[in-house]
Amino acid sequence: MEQNNDDKLPVNPIEAQGLLIKAVYKKFGREALPIIKNVCLKQGKSLGLKVKKKLPMNNLTSVAKAFSKSFDQKSIKVISISDKKFQIQGTKCPFGLENTSRELCEAVMAIDHEYFREAVNDKIELKIVKTVAGGDPYCDTIYEVKG
């Protein structure tokens, strides 16, 4: 018996979180975005503080290399890593947000933005150039140290 997409079970906690995020967004729409973003910020801050304690150096290069170990190397690739810029591109959203909305992606990406702000410094800017959530063929995400 084949499952349809609505019945598909998550294969990891991030996919499960994505199912919850999509369900809340579907039910409440844009009104839910500040709540989703706020929770994601807290998650990112917690993760960033943990990695900051574990790494001997907290420059963008070290944090980006540690971060890169956590994602699926088949669907996400590193374009560049330096102490000023970290760029990645991916064809699959870990949260399963494909073809939902750019604004939902931006709210959820608060996790990663805050992660880098906490682990490196608060002058990290996040630029979402492309996103599969918004219907692009791939994601293109850049973290840059400003100032």
The CATH number that applies at residue 66 is 3.30.1380.20
Question: Rounded mean pLDDT of 24-46?
Answer: 98
Given a cut of 80, is residue 73 above it in pLDDT? yes
- Residue 1 has a pLDDT of 41
What pLDDT band is residue 3 in, cutting at 50, 70 and 90?
very low
Range of the domain at 33: 11-145
What mean pLDDT, rounded, does the chain reach? 94
How far is residue 90's CA from residue 75's CA, in Å, rounded to a whole number?
5
Position 141 in a domain: yes
Position 111 in a domain: yes
Count the domains in the chain.
1
Position 105 in a domain: yes
Task: Give the model confidence (pLDDT) of 8-22 as tens digits.
Answer: 899 999 999 999 999
Note the pTM of the prediction, 2 decimals.
0.91
Considering the chain, what percentage of its residues have pLDDT values greater than 70? Answer: 96
Structure tokens at 15: 């996919």
- Residue 6 has a pLDDT of 61
Show Cβ contacts of residue 43 under 8 Å, excluding neighbours closer than 6 positions: 111, 114
Question: Rounded mean pLDDT of 85-105?
Answer: 97
Position 5 in a domain: no
Position 69 in a domain: yes
Position 4 in a domain: no
Given a cut of 90, is residue 124 above it in pLDDT? yes
Position 6 in a domain: no
Task: Give the model confidence (pLDDT) of 113-122 as tens digits.
Answer: 999 999 999 9
Position 51 in a domain: yes
> Which of 56, 67, 48 is closest to 110 using CA atoms?
48
